[in-house]
Structure 1
Amino acid sequence: MGIIKVENIRVFAHHGCLKEETKIGSHYRVDLEVKANLQTSANTDKLTDTVDYVFLNRVIKEEMNVPSALLETVAKRILNRIFTEDSMVKKATVWVSKLNPPIGGDVERVTIKMTDRRKK
């Protein structure tokens, strides 16, 4: 097994429980870690034998573009798409952070972390 990380993906999106949040939008940070067998690609040097991090980044950007009330919903959609569209991924963890959340205090970010693994 090996690990591929795509870190500090910055996006502007429209998530939140408050009407103003979904209308105005906010800045987010997304981090992703996937586990897959990287031995074949290490030997063949072929993109088709590994998990393409361009694909991972695209999934994150597309799913972040779909407004949701909860970050948990966004994270679950990201994980579902990764497992549906790339059979090489065995386990994945995603962190979705809302930067400067409107929670009445000096808070840098609120982060949810969700992990899933391929069902047999």
Structure 2
Amino acid sequence: MGIIKVNNIKLYAFHGCLEEEAKIGSWYRVDVEVKADLKKSSRTDNLADTVDYVHLNHIVKEQMAIRSELLEQVAQRILDRFFREIQMIKKAKVAVAKINPPIGGNVEEVVIILTKKR
């Protein structure tokens, strides 16, 4: 078993419960971690034998572009697509962070972390 991480994917999106968040948006950071059997790819040096992190990044970008009120829903959609499209994945973790959330205080970020396994 091996781990592939794609860290610090920075995106501008329009998630949130407040009307202003839908209009002006804010910055987000997404970190993903997937577990899969990487023995074959470590021997073959062939992209078809591993989890393509370009594909992971593509899924994150597409799902982050779909507005949701809750980050939990965004993270779940990302996980669901990972498992639907990439059969090699055995377990995945997605962290979605809203940078400078509008919660009436000096808060750097709010992070939602969800995991899923086959």
TM-score (norm 1): 0.98
Q: Which residue number in structure 2 is paired with residue 7 of structure 1?
A: 7
SS of residue in 2 equivalent to 1:23: helix
Let me know the Cα RMSD of the aligned residues. Answer: 0.3
Corresponding position: 1:45 with 2:45: yes
SS at match of 2:78: helix
Partner of 1:106: 106
How far is the alpha carbon of 1:65 from its aligned partner?
A: 0.3
User: In the TM superposition, what are the counterparts of 1:27-106 in structure 2 within 5 Å?
Assistant: 27-106=27-106
Name the SS of the counterpart of 1:11 in structure 2: strand
Task: Report the count of equivalent residues.
Answer: 118
Alignment deviations for residues 38-75 of structure 1 (CA, whole Å, 9 cap, x no partner): 00000000000000000000000000000000000000
- Structure 2's unaligned 5+ residue stretches are none
Shift of 1:23: 1.1
Which runs of 4 or more aligned residues in structure 1 lie more than 2 Å from their structure 2 counterparts after TM superposition? none
Partner SS for 2:105: coil
Give distance in 2, aligned partners of 1:23 and 1:82: 29
In structure 1, stretches of 5+ residues that fail to align are: none
The CA deviation at 1:14 is: 0.4
Give 2:18's aligned residue.
18
Letter in 2 for 1:23: K
Q: Where does residue 115 of structure 2 map in the other structure?
A: 115
